[in-house]
Amino acid sequence: MIETYMWIVWLALFVIMIVIEAASPELVSIWFAAGALVSLIVSLIPGTDWWVEVIIFVVISLVAVLCLRPLVKRYLRSGEIIKTNVDSLIGKKGYVIQDITFLRPGAVKINDVSWTALPLKENETILVNCVIEVVAVNGNKLVVKKVEEK
């Protein structure tokens, strides 16, 4: 009796997984959608037991997550890293306009533009008016180090 309606379960699960995947930035539920799709196809074969469909769903989903996900992620990240305008700030010098500590980001001014900044070293505090150099960009914050004045 349950076998008669399993195709509805697999179709619903497939649609739900696709909607979740569309709403998430990571490749997570697409693999379960693949398992649900294969189980949906198998459920259309007359006489297939529901537990066989469940086993197929689990196996296909696990194989997809464990084998295909790393390959697809590597493929998606294999392109060139596109540099942004912020990346051009790396190596530039500026000065601190608000004290910078690792626990509390401060502010620096580079080319008359203010930026939120973090120190390169965790135990470092960089005080106002110190000269800094940008060494990296971390999200929307600049990672800076103090430049010793000569």
Closest by CA to 27, choosing from 67, 82, 54, is: 67
The pLDDT of residue 4? 84
The pLDDT of residue 80? 67
Q: Which residue has the higher pLDDT, 149 or 57?
A: 57
- Give me the residue spans of the domains in the chain: 2-76, 85-146
The pLDDT of residue 97? 96
pLDDT in tens, 54-67: 999 999 999 999 99
Helix/strand/coil (H/E/C) assignment for every residue in the chain: CHHHHHHHHHHHHHHHHHHHHHHCCCCCCHHHHHHHHHHHHHHCCCCCCHHHHHHHHHHHHHHHHHHHHHHHHHHHCCCCCCCCHHHHHCCCEEEEEECECCCCCEEEEECCEEEEEEECCCCCCECCCCEEEEEEEECCEEEEEECCCC
Question: Alpha-carbon torsion 99, 102, 106, 112, what sign?
Answer: positive
Q: Report the amino acid identity of residue 123.
A: N
Mean pLDDT of 78-91: 76
The pLDDT of residue 102? 85
pLDDT in tens, 19-55: 999 988 778 899 999 999 999 999 999 999 999 999 9
Q: Which residue has the higher pLDDT, 70 or 39?
A: 39
The pLDDT of residue 79? 66
| CATH 2.40.50.140 for the 85-146 domain, yes or no | yes
Average pLDDT, the chain: 90
| Whole-number Å distance between alpha carbons of 147 and 150 | 9
Residue 50 contacts residue 2 (beta carbons within 8 Å): yes
